[in-house]
Chains A and B, each alone.
Chain A
Amino acid sequence: MSTNKVIHALYNDDDILMDAVKTVKDAHHHIEEVFTPFPVHGLDKALGLAPTRLAITAFFYGITGTAVATWLTWYTMIADWPQDIGGKPSFSWIENMPAFVPILFELTVFFAAHLMVITFYMRSRIWPFKEAENPDPRTTDDHFLMEIPVHNNEDELKDLLATTGAVEVKVVDKH
């Protein structure tokens, strides 16, 4: 039996899915992937997924934005072409800083938001012209699909899944 074989178990309720995930985990089987039509609360913990670090990246992207804004206002207003605007000369960045607060804030948000979203798209491999990879079109409607790799234990898995309330269990060859 080839190891490319996987079992697809379909559920039609999020609570049944959650119980099934726990049952399968308790039986020490590896769940390769779960496809759901909406975020199921607690599923990531039940699957043992590590917490995402995207929020941390957003923090560092934000700091980058602040730094860019600091450099931009300093270089253009103080270093490259200092002017005396309305009797308020541009001698030092720190003294003129209050006028730059809006720019510092906006660029911080701009960098944090966009770079975080781009990171999310890259990490989750979603972008224009990307082919969808959900194995069953019903998983974006009202079905939940659990994918379990088969290692010479097809019948055992099938029996187990039948007890978890799956509405459909099928073995497929994964390309």
Chain B
Amino acid sequence: MSSHYESSYREPLILGDKSYHDITEDIARPIEGKANKNWYIAFYIALAAMLWGFGCIFYTVGTGIGVWGLNKNIGWAWDITNFVWWVGIGHAGTLISAVLLLFRQKWRMAINRSAEAMTIFAVFQAGLFPIIHMGRPWNAYWVLPIPNQFGPLWVNFNSPLLWDVFAISTYLSVSLVFWWTGLLPDFATIRDRAVKPFQKKIYALLSFGWSGRAKDWQRFEEVSLVLAGLATPLVLSVHTIVSFDFATSVNPGWHSTIFPPYFVAGAIFSGFAMVQTLLGVMRKVTNMEAYITRLHVEYMNIVIILTGGIVAVAYATEFFIAWYTGSPYENYTYLSFGAEAGAYGWAFWSLMIFNIIIPQILWIKKLRRSFIVSFLVSIAINIGMWFERFDIIAIVLSKGQLPSTWSRFEPTFVDVGIFIGTIGFFFVLFLLYARTFPVIPTAEIKTILKSSGENFKKLREENNEH
């Protein structure tokens, strides 16, 4: 057992008296058991929201995007806000599985499966918005580089919007493959346990016939490592390119060189907040308390404090620069005295309170180790990060360089409906996932049982092994 040594000063990552078989049992239970009433209630609410959103999408496509609250000055607002918000949420998953893998952070194993699922489902939602904003989504394939016979011209590779197409589709497909490769051994576990023939067939198909040979595992680990190495710059590039949508324009408030790092930090900030929100509920519902512990919550909160701090410094910089230029236009960007005192002052203060002030309570150790406090703070950050994107877009566009271009964005019920619909769609996917997929990487977590399991740590302590 000495080969599995880990300092006794480190808190255990797996609580209770667990064996390898217990881990299999614990993770398979939500899949093999029946869903309870709460699951069905949550599922039907999410389904209703999703259908309402689909209705609004059909209405938009059938009538035209005039049904949204856009006007001649504010040509994109709610939809692009939601797009950036969802893409940002989609950043934690691959960050947890890739960056934390490279840094050998073992605690990621409890949360990476769900965080990656969240990533993929969030990127689905994000992808919807640009496509429906095209107004004619059946022409969406025009963003692909295909020869002229299919459209009037080649796509423009100088445009950040096209970079986005490549970045998001690469991110989605690579995340999906990373997630699925990690799932293969765990699907195999479920397959080999299944008693119902139909279930066995389905999981046999999903597991791609994984057998767990020594050579397979050697390749599996190498592939995971290389994918992590590829996905790490990929995560950073995706939100960098999303920020280029704004930063390469010539609008005051958007044309800002700190946008890429600041957007990436904001994305990780919001992504971890969403992971906290989801896992705060999921650990209870699927009885994963032994695997998703206070320690995990604390570690995630530390990442939130760090990235939230970067975001706060970025806000301060933008605010300072807006004032320091002495330019009257800059005084109406989203972080300025003009914005604070203007018609969107409430949105400005929502951003400050939810994103900057509330998360500061996580500096207190007792609070960042509390499940309920973490959950509430994560909800606040989710709201705050939505306002960040809304402020960047709506406030900046509402004050053009001529007073005749000053206007206001008011969302219609369709704008709101589509947003609610994507939240519903996201939760439909996540709830289905929580009932059918192994929510914790079963094979991987077994590798840390002997080093980080509570019982094994105690045993070492008693035997005085070092």
A residues whose Cβ falls under 8 Å from a Cβ of B:
12, 14-15, 33-41, 43-44, 47, 49, 51-52, 54-55, 58, 62, 72-73, 76-77, 80-81, 83, 85-86, 88, 96, 99-100, 102-103, 105-107, 109-110, 112-114, 116-117, 120-121, 123-134, 137-142
B223:A132 contact, CB within 8 angstroms = no
The smallest beta-carbon distance between A47 and chain B, in angstroms, is: 6
B157:A99 contact, CB within 8 angstroms = yes
CB contacts (< 8 Å) of B20 on chain A: these are 12, 37, 141-142
CB contacts (< 8 Å) of B19 on chain A: these are 142
Which residue on chain A has the smallest CB distance to residue B2? Answer: A15
B158:A99 contact, CB within 8 angstroms = yes
Q: If the complex has contacts A105-B233, A106-B237, A120-B223, are A140 and B214 also in contact, measured as CB distance less than 8 A?
A: no
B24 contacts partner chain A, Cβ-Cβ < 8 Å = yes
Interface of B, helix, strand, loop or mixed by DSSP = helix
B304 contacts partner chain A, Cβ-Cβ < 8 Å = no
Q: If the complex has contacts A85-B158, A114-B173, A128-B205, are A39 and B447 also in contact, measured as CB distance less than 8 A?
A: yes
Instruction: Assign chain B's interface to a size class.
Output: 35 or more
Q: Which of B59-67, B148-156, B333-341, B365-373 contacts A (4 or more CB under 8 A)?
A: B148-156
User: CA–CA, A107 to B172, complex, Å?
Assistant: 13
Which residue on chain A has the smallest CB distance to residue B224? Answer: A39
User: CA–CA, A97 to B185, complex, Å?
Assistant: 43
The smallest beta-carbon distance between A57 and chain B, in angstroms, is: 9
Pick 28 A–B contacts, CB within 8 A, sort by A.
Answer: A14-B450, A38-B446, A39-B220, A44-B215, A49-B218, A52-B215, A54-B223, A55-B222, A76-B145, A76-B155, A77-B158, A81-B154, A83-B153, A83-B156, A102-B167, A105-B237, A106-B166, A106-B234, A113-B230, A113-B231, A120-B223, A126-B209, A126-B210, A130-B208, A131-B204, A132-B211, A139-B212, A142-B21
A58:B158 contact, CB within 8 angstroms = no
Contact of A103 among B1, B157, B191 (CB under 8 A): B157
A49:B209 contact, CB within 8 angstroms = no
CB contacts (< 8 Å) of B157 on chain A: these are 72-73, 76-77, 99-100, 103
Contact of B154 among A37, A77, A106 (CB under 8 A): A77
CB contacts (< 8 Å) of A130 on chain B: these are 208-209
Q: If the complex has contacts A113-B177, A142-B24, are A37 and B212 also in contact, measured as CB distance less than 8 A?
A: yes
CB contacts (< 8 Å) of A34 on chain B: these are 213-214
The smallest beta-carbon distance between A112 and chain B, in angstroms, is: 6
CB contacts (< 8 Å) of B234 on chain A: these are 106, 109
Contact of B230 among A33, A58, A85, A107 (CB under 8 A): A58
B300 contacts partner chain A, Cβ-Cβ < 8 Å = no
The smallest beta-carbon distance between A139 and chain B, in angstroms, is: 6
Contact of B174 among A113, A137, A140 (CB under 8 A): A113
**B 213-244 to A, binary, CB cutoff 8 A, 1 in contact else 0:** 11111111111011100110110010001001
The smallest beta-carbon distance between A71 and chain B, in angstroms, is: 11
User: CA–CA, A168 to B154, complex, Å?
Assistant: 65
User: CA–CA, A127 to B181, complex, Å?
Assistant: 11
CB contacts (< 8 Å) of B214 on chain A: these are 33-36, 40, 43-44, 47, 49
The smallest beta-carbon distance between B142 and chain A, in angstroms, is: 13
Which residue on chain A has the smallest CB distance to residue B209? Answer: A130
CB contacts (< 8 Å) of A47 on chain B: these are 214
B288 contacts partner chain A, Cβ-Cβ < 8 Å = no
Q: Of B173, B233, B234, which is in contact with the most chain A CB atoms at under 10 Å from its CB?
A: B234
Q: Given A52-B222, A105-B233, 20 more contacts at CB 8 Å? A: A37-B212, A39-B221, A58-B226, A76-B154, A102-B166, A102-B241, A107-B166, A109-B233, A112-B226, A117-B177, A117-B223, A121-B208, A127-B209, A134-B211, A139-B212, A140-B191, A140-B210, A141-B20, A141-B21, A141-B192
CB contacts (< 8 Å) of B160 on chain A: these are 102
The smallest beta-carbon distance between A24 and chain B, in angstroms, is: 13
User: CA–CA, A10 to B219, complex, Å?
Assistant: 23
User: CA–CA, A116 to B155, complex, Å?
Assistant: 28
A72:B145 contact, CB within 8 angstroms = yes
B223:A116 contact, CB within 8 angstroms = yes
Which residue on chain A has the smallest CB distance to residue B147? Answer: A80
CB contacts (< 8 Å) of B216 on chain A: these are 124, 126
CB contacts (< 8 Å) of B241 on chain A: these are 102
The smallest beta-carbon distance between B462 and chain A, in angstroms, is: 18
Contact of A36 among B1, B192, B212 (CB under 8 A): B212
A132:B207 contact, CB within 8 angstroms = yes
B163 contacts partner chain A, Cβ-Cβ < 8 Å = yes
User: CA–CA, A22 to B42, complex, Å?
Assistant: 53
B219:A54 contact, CB within 8 angstroms = yes
